[in-house]
Amino acid sequence: MNHLIKAEFRRLLASRMWAGLLLAALLLGGGMMGAMALIGPENFDPPMPGLHTETGVRSILGILGYTAFVPAAAGTLAATSEYRHRTAAVTFLFAPRRWQVLAAKLATYGVAGLAYGLILAGTAAVALHTAAAVRGVPLGLPASTVLGLLARIGLAMVVYLLIGIGVGALLRNQVVALCVVIGYLYMGEALLMMIPGLNQLYPILPGGATAALTDFTYLADAMSQQLGSTTLQLLPPAAGALLLTAYALTASLIAVLVPMRRDIT
Amino acid sequence: MSGDRARIEVSHLTKRYGEVTAVRDLTFTVEPGLVTGFLGPNGAGKTTTMRMLTGLVSPTSGTATIGGRPYRRLPRPSRTVGAVFDASAFHPGHTARDHLRVYAAMGGYPDSRVTALLDLLGLAEAADRRTRGFSTGMRQRLNLATALLGDPRVLLLDEPSNGLDPEGMRWLRGFLRQLADQGRTVLVSSHVLSEIQQLVDDVIMIRRGELVAAGPWSRLAGPPAVLVTSPDADRLAATLQASRPDGDAPSVEVIQAGRLRVHGLDAPGVADLAAEHRLRVHELVTETSSLEQLFLHLTTDKAATP
């Protein structure tokens, strides 16, 4: 098993993916958060509550949560790349116990996801506080609470990366899997929120669970108001965390079990 | 090379994909120390069989073992078997060295093995280039390097000659011969029979998933025939047939007017007999049989019998 994890780390570090992930973490964490805080949510179109309010801070942190499709896409790329470049046969020749290969990938990308989350949350924290200080706006939440919320977002990134690997292992076709993962996370959940009845599912979907982590209800509330539907009630943060963990475990199980008996042709 | 020699044994192997039977009740053995050609037209079931041998595809029924064990039960499979299935099986963004280091880690082999194989296969200069720019020949060498990381006793190659230029093909032949001479078991599949003919010791021929012939090439090929062109062909044929008692006489086949194919007597024998009877001979050629002929011969025979 250690051999396999070592091999997966070598595979990850030899391609340009780790550099891409690092860049994404810096741009989305420090870059996007800095830009949003500098402009100020009150100047968004449509305007949102300012940084001096609790809702304002939770909202821009919640928007950061929506970038989870990036690590999810990275996980999908990692799991499908072996099929796309036809290295899956070679890999399974070296390691015929296929579940071990996928377990090693999950371990490796779990670590990579953690690093991604840390950098994303860390640079976001620095950017948010710096921008608030520059504009002279006191944040609507104490620094420790902001850090706690950012840490939750960082951990959610690990979950999404693992979900990406699970979907990739299940679908195998890289383009299809990427379309499904990005399409669902970027568009699918937002569309679901607009469909009366179906939108009641939102709190138990990955996006709803992630929003629950930071108690980010602004977007869901705004949408219910516009559509005149009943307000969606997000899960409590702890339940959201549990639910996300369950999604990660399910995805991991899929990743480990699905390739077991399938013919590699 | 690690451990003893290993024989490949395939027994009543069958693979069905829904209605389609890709491989049907296939039984053969592959011996160590020889290069065995696994031959048949495209779609005959060669790739499916080789993938079943290595556990990549699960058989519907039957067994395939290497050194007495199914592939998935081998303690450290890359030490026993090296296999090349795809002409290109690398991440295009990885260098040759990156690729080998990933699989060296997976098999538990030191980095010195990577360097040694890059040297052995003449890839040292290309080692740090990304594989997306590799030629077919370089890809084939990198495939072989990957397969040889564990210094395996058995080597399986699926259509290794696809896309190789004549020089690459000659290099491959020499390389595989060397591996077989070291006592390894080498199984090479191909649909281009003429390309593989100079390389193989043993032959396994399949068609539509079924075994057509198996055995040493020298035995399957049989003794060579002699082609004779003569203006006195009719009299020469009669003389040849009368040269020895009935059961023992050379058999003569008239190809066209003035041209004969003689079995059971070599070229000097035919020439001497013609001279003795003062018959003119314009051309005398020893015809060694080719895999292609053998294959056509065997499959048309098979088609004729219900």
B236 and B168, same structural domain?
no
Least trusted range by pLDDT, from A188-197, B110-119, B205-214, B232-241: A188-197
Does B246 lie in the same domain as B178? no
List the strands of the sheet with B81-84, edge to edge. B81-84, B154-158, B185-190, B35-39, B202-207, B210-216
Kindly report, residue by residue over B122-143, the tens digit of the pLDDT.
999 999 999 999 998 899 999 9
Q: What is the pLDDT of residue B305?
A: 42
Q: Are residues B82 and B188 in the same domain?
A: yes
Q: For residue B2, is it within any domain?
A: no
Interface contact A14-B93, CB threshold 8 A: yes
User: ipTM of this model?
Assistant: 0.88
Q: Of the ranges A20-34, A38-52, B11-25, which one carries the lowest mean pLDDT score?
A: A38-52
Helix or strand (DSSP H, E) at B113: helix B111-120
Give residue B247's identity as a one-letter amino acid code. Answer: G
B40 neighbors B188 (Cβ within 8 angstroms): no
| Element holding A234 (H helix, E strand) | none
Q: Are residues B157 and B201 in the same domain?
A: yes
pLDDT in tens, B233-288: 899 999 988 888 877 888 888 888 889 989 888 889 999 999 999 999 999 998 87
What does the block give as tokens for B39? 């031959």
Structure tokens at B165: 């230029």
What is the tens place of the pLDDT at every residue in B62-119?
999 999 999 999 989 999 999 999 888 999 999 999 999 999 999 999 999 999 999 9
Asked if B56 lies within 8 A of A92 by C-beta distance, the reply is yes
**Chain A residues lying within 8 Å of B85, measured CB to CB:** 89-90
- How many Å apart are CA A23 and CA A179, to the nearest integer? 22
Structure tokens at B99: 């690729």
DSSP letter (8 states) at residue B90: S
Angle at B188 between CA B183 and CA B192, to 5 degrees: 145
Asked whether the predicted pLDDT for residue B43 surpasses 80, the reply is: yes
Domain end marker among B194, B221, B248: B221
Distance CA A18, CA B277 (A): 85
Q: In this structure, are B203 and B252 located in the same domain? A: no
Which among B58, B88, B94 has the least Cβ separation from residue A86?
Answer: B88
pLDDT digits (tens, 9 = 90+) for A207-263: 888 888 888 777 777 777 777 767 778 888 889 989 999 998 998 888 888 887 788
Task: Give the start-to-end residue ranges of the domains of chain A.
Answer: 2-257
Cα-atom radius of gyration of chain B, to the nearest Å? 24
pLDDT exceeds cutoff 80 at A92 = yes
Element (H, E) at A227: helix A218-227
Query: Is there a single domain that holds both residue B236 and residue B174?
Result: no
Mean pLDDT of chain B: 89
Partner-chain contact B93 A16, CB within 8 Å = yes
Q: Write the pLDDT tens digit of every residue in A44-81.
A: 888 888 889 988 898 889 889 889 999 999 999 999 99
B124 and B213, same domain (yes or no): yes
Domain of B107, CATH number, reads 3.40.50.300
| Selected residue of B76, B106, B155 to mutate for chain A interface (largest A Cβ count, 10 A) | B106
Q: Are strands B81-84 and B154-158 parallel, antiparallel or unpaired?
A: parallel
Chain B nearest CA to A191, separation (Å): 36
Q: How far is CA B93 from the centre of its chain?
A: 33
Residue B188 lies in a domain: yes
Paired with B283 in beta bridges are: B229
pLDDT confidence of residue A145: 92
Q: DSSP letter at A41?
A: G
Write down the residue that tokens 């075994």 correspond to.
Answer: B211
Q: Considering chain B, what percentage of its residues have pLDDT values greater than 70?
A: 96
Indicate the SS3 state at residue B167: helix
A139-148, B103-112, B203-212, B220-229: least confidently modelled range: B220-229
Cα atoms in the 13 Å half-sphere on the side-chain side of B134: 31
Confidence of residue B304 (pLDDT cuts 50, 70, 90): very low
pLDDT for the residue numbered A15: 87
Q: Specify the pLDDT at position A196.
A: 77
Q: Kindly list the residues of chain A whose beta carbon comes within 8 Å of any beta carbon in chain B.
A: 3-4, 6-7, 10-11, 14-16, 81, 85-87, 89-97, 261, 263-265
CB B25 within 8 A of CB B187: no
For residue B161, tell me if it sits in a domain: yes
Chain B residues within 8 A of A97 when measuring between CB atoms: 72
Q: Considering Cα of A13, then A17, then A19, then A21, what sign does the dihedral take?
A: negative
Chain A residues near residue B99 by CB distance under 8 angstroms: 14
Residue type, A56: G
What is the greatest pairwise CA distance in chain A? 62
Q: Compute the half-sphere exposure of residue A165: CA atoms within 13 Å on the CB side of its CA.
A: 30
The residue among B221, B246, B276 that closes a domain is B221
How many angstroms away from the CA of B56 is the closest CA of chain A? Answer: 5
Residue percentage of chain A with pLDDT more than 90: 54
Count of structural domains, chain B: 2
pLDDT of residue B163: 77
Place of tokens 């959201």: A240
Inside any domain, residue B200 = yes
Contact between A24 and A108 (Cβ < 8 Å): no
The pLDDT value recorded for residue B94 is 94
C-alpha distance from B110 to closest chain A C-alpha (Å): 11
Domain match, B205 and B117 both: yes
Percent of residues in chain A assigned helix, strand, coil, to nearest 5: 80, 0, 20
- pLDDT category at A161 given cuts 50, 70, 90 is very high
Q: How far is A263 from chain B (nearest CA, A)?
A: 4
User: In this structure, are B105 and B215 located in the same domain?
Assistant: yes
Contact A14 B105 (CB under 8 A): no
Reported confidence tier of residue B225, pLDDT bands at 50, 70, 90: confident
Q: Does one domain contain both B191 and B269? A: no
User: In B136-168, which positions are buried (b, 16+ CB within 10 angstroms) versus exposed (e)?
Assistant: ebbbbbbbbbbbbbbbbbbbbbbbbbeebeeeb
For chain A, the average pLDDT equals 89
CATH classification of the domain holding B236: 3.30.70
Q: In what order do the strands lie in the sheet with B20-30?
A: B20-30, B8-17, B61-66
**Tell me, what amino acid is at A114?**
L
In contact, B288 and B221? CB cutoff 8 Å: yes
What range does the domain containing B82 cover? 8-221
B97 with B51, same domain: the answer is yes
The pTM of the full predicted model, rounded to 2 decimals, is 0.85
Average pLDDT estimate for B176-201: 90
User: Would residue B295 count as lying in a domain?
Assistant: no
Helix or strand run (H / E) with residue A100? helix A98-135
- How would DSSP label each residue in A141-187? S-HHHHHHHHHHHHHHHHHHHHHHHHHHHHH--HHHHHHHHHIIIII
What whole-number distance in Å separates Cα of residue B290 and Cα of residue B193? Answer: 8
Verify that B247 and B204 share a domain, yes or no: no
